[in-house]
Amino acid sequence: MKWLAVACALGVALCWGMYGPTLSHARAPNREWGPFKPYLFIGIAYLVIAVIGGAMMMKLAFNDNFSYSGTYYPAMKFGFLAGCLGALGALFLTFALTKAGGKPAYVMPIVFGGAVSVNAIAAYMSLKQGESVSPLMWVGMLLVAVGIVMTAANTPHGHPPVKASPASAGGDAAIDAAETNAASEDTAT
């Protein structure tokens, strides 16, 4: 059954790994709209998939009930907290890839390498007295940091945008340059 967990984890990596590149296509070509206009629909997608998918999995896969009181309260409390963390992460990522000027080529390795390290630190902090951690965890975290830098430094970043020359500042030449610039930005992300 572990193969199923690995397959699901790879599905998460695929979906979340494509989040940044997909979001980069949601930018306005000429700054016609703000960078958080797509975020509204990110939230709607989260809501629809979480509510419908969660309800279907609860009922079909586990034949669970829909009670959240009494002993079921932690499911609501920590589920809401996890959802807030996921949504805040998406908010930070959206800002990083839009207004902050980040590119998926280096933002995404930082996000995923950092998430692995944060997860390891959280697990370490939850150890009970007398439990210990292998020193290899710290070596692994160091290797993750090296991997983030290597991945970000060597990921293709696309061509720099083409700038219009001062002589062609008006007319069709300026429009062609703007379209070339927008196309270059799209291929760079």
At 16-60, the pLDDT tens digits run 888 878 887 777 777 788 778 888 888 899 899 989 999 999 988
pLDDT score recorded for residue 83 = 87
pLDDT score recorded for residue 138 = 93
Residues 169/163, Cβ–Cβ less than 8 Å: no
Q: What is the distance of C-alpha 71 from the center of its chain?
A: 33
Q: How far is Cα 35 from Cα 27, in angstroms, rounded to an integer?
A: 6
Please report, rounded to a whole number, the percentage of residues in the chain having pLDDT higher than 90: 20
pLDDT score recorded for residue 152 = 84
For the beta carbon of residue 94, count every other beta carbon within 10 angstroms. Answer: 20
- Ranges 14-28, 103-117, 122-136, 155-169: which has the least confidence: 155-169
35 vs 102 pLDDT, higher one: 102
Predicted confidence (pLDDT) per residue in 131-157, tens digit: 999 999 999 999 999 998 898 888 886
pTM of the model: 0.67
Q: What amino acid is encoded at 3 in this protein?
A: W
Q: Is the pLDDT of residue 178 over 70?
A: no
pLDDT score recorded for residue 52 = 92
Q: Is the pLDDT of residue 96 over 70?
A: yes
pLDDT score recorded for residue 99 = 80
158 vs 124 pLDDT, higher one: 124
Q: How far is Cα 29 from Cα 32, in angstroms, rounded to an integer?
A: 7
Q: Is the pLDDT of residue 180 over 60?
A: no
pLDDT score recorded for residue 179 = 46
180 vs 9 pLDDT, higher one: 9
| Average confidence score pLDDT of the chain | 81
DSSP letter for each residue of the chain: -HHHHHHHHHHHHHHHHHHHHHHHTTS-TTS-S-TTHHHHHHHHHHHHIIIIIHHHIIIIIT------SGGGHHHHHHHHHHHHHHHHHHHHHHHHHTTT---HHHHHHHHHHHHHHHHHHHHHHTPPTT----HHHHHHHHHHHHHHHHHHHHS---PPPPPPPGGG-SHHHHHHHHHHHHHHHHHH-
